[in-house]
Amino acid sequence: MELSRNILLWASNNEWMKKHIPERKFVRRAVKRFMPGENVTDAIEAGRELMKNGIPATFTYLGENINELIEAENTAKQYVELLERIYKEQLDIEVSLKLTQIGFDLSFDKTLEYFEQVTHTAKKYGNNVFIDIEDSHYVDKTLTFYKEVKKDYDNAGLCLQSYLYRTMDDLKNMIDIKPWIRLVKGAYKEPADIAFPEKRKVDENYLMLSKYLLRQTKNEGIRVAYGTHDIKLQEQIKLEAERIGLEKENLEFQMLYGIKEREQMKLAEEGYNIRTLISYGKFWYPWYMRRLAERPANVGFVLKNLFSN
């Protein structure tokens, strides 16, 4: 299991594969399970379907580690146009983006400028923007970035990972700025000196962080989204919320499009906030490989597509 995860995460960064795998028709067919399509209109259609069942969405326009600032500028423009469209069509869709998609490898200040274009537009329309968290090289810089953004934008949130030993300290060190947090387990390959190598420990840490965050929501009104498909963990979080007297409407789960759809619906029916993250765009390869790595059995699904016409 760990070996397949490592191979898939290695493949997610392989330049040759990045270029050639997305050309394969059977892979393109398999990707549809996690992504309604490459165009924003495909994503909006999928979002509308979910909204009929009381499930709002978060949109991510796929891309990461760009090499030229012009690409960052274009990405920021895409998000601004998306936010305008969301507003015009009165949809309950937030956005979430990767900082390396808007120039983080190239310039901190330029990234801030592009991010502010997006978050400013979102604020104008009463909408919100989350920052995805990437591999551990970016964590310090991302925290500094988020603190800077938070000075002017209360509509920005940040994703953090429970597989990193440091996350509780990171949370405590920024709790005074009332961060908005999306808590996830973490999707990258990290060394054992900075991240729990055992899944059990990652899950335990997730619960510990959740208990801390639930109290922050209860006492300080901090928005937290629990980004996990782990139903057992979700149940533990619900119980803890109940124990401390936190109402269902103050508890939010987020899950990915195409994964555990029935459970997503059930959460909505039970009265919890549930938001589905929908990704779209042409640059889906590394993102898709990380989805396969989360559940290597998904590779079987890709192979099935190889043999269907």
Ligand X SMILES: Cc1cc2nc3c(=O)[nH]c(=O)nc-3n(C[C@H](O)[C@H](O)[C@H](O)COP(=O)(O)OP(=O)(O)OC[C@H]3O[C@@H](n4cnc5c(N)ncnc54)[C@H](O)[C@@H]3O)c2cc1C
Within 10 angstroms of residue 190's Cβ, the number of other Cβ atoms is 19
Q: How many helices (H) and strands (E) does the chain have?
A: 13, 8
Q: Is 30 in the site for ligand X (CB under 6 A)?
A: no
Under rule CB under 6 A, residue 27 binds ligand X: no
- By CB under 6 A, how many residues form the interface with ligand X? 23
Least Å from the CB of residue 185 to ligand X: 4
Q: Which residues, numbered 48-77, are part of the site for ligand X (CB under 6 A)?
A: none
For residues 119 and 45, give the distance between their C-alpha atoms in angstroms, rounded to a whole number: 24
One character per residue 96-135, x = contact with ligand X (rule: CB under 6 A)? ------------------------------------xx--
Residue from 12, 75, 119, 254 touching ligand X (CB under 6 A): that is: 254
Among the listed ranges 150-158, 165-173, 241-249, 255-263, the one in contact with ligand X (CB under 6 A) is: 255-263
By the rule CB under 6 A, 167 interacts with ligand X: no
Q: How many other C-beta atoms are found inside a 10 Å radius of the C-beta of residue 47?
A: 25
Contact criterion met (CB below 8 Å) for 260 and 254:
no
Q: Is 161 in the site for ligand X (CB under 6 A)?
A: yes
Taking CB under 6 A as the criterion, the residue among 159, 171, 181, 246 binding ligand X is 159
Q: Out of 57, 164, 277, 289, point to the residue binding ligand X (CB under 6 A).
A: 277
Going from the C-alpha of 121 to that of each of 78, 83, 235, 269, the distances in angstroms are 12, 7, 36, 32
Per CB under 6 A, does 184 bind ligand X?
yes
Cα-atom radius of gyration of the chain, to the nearest Å?
19
| Residue from 42, 105, 298, 299 in contact with ligand X (CB under 6 A) | 298
Check binding of 228 to ligand X (CB under 6 A).
yes
User: Could you tell me which residues come within 8 angstroms of residue 230 by beta carbon, excluding any fewer than 6 positions away?
Assistant: 185, 203, 206
CA distance 37 to 31: 9
Listed ranges 82-90, 263-271, 280-288, 291-299: which one lies at the site for ligand X (CB under 6 A): 291-299
Q: Report the alpha-carbon distance of residue 168 to residue 210 in Å, rounded.
A: 10
Distance CA 293, CA 182 (A): 21
The site for ligand X (CB under 6 A) is made up of 132-133, 159, 161, 182, 184-188, 227-230, 254-256, 259, 277, 291, 294-295, 298
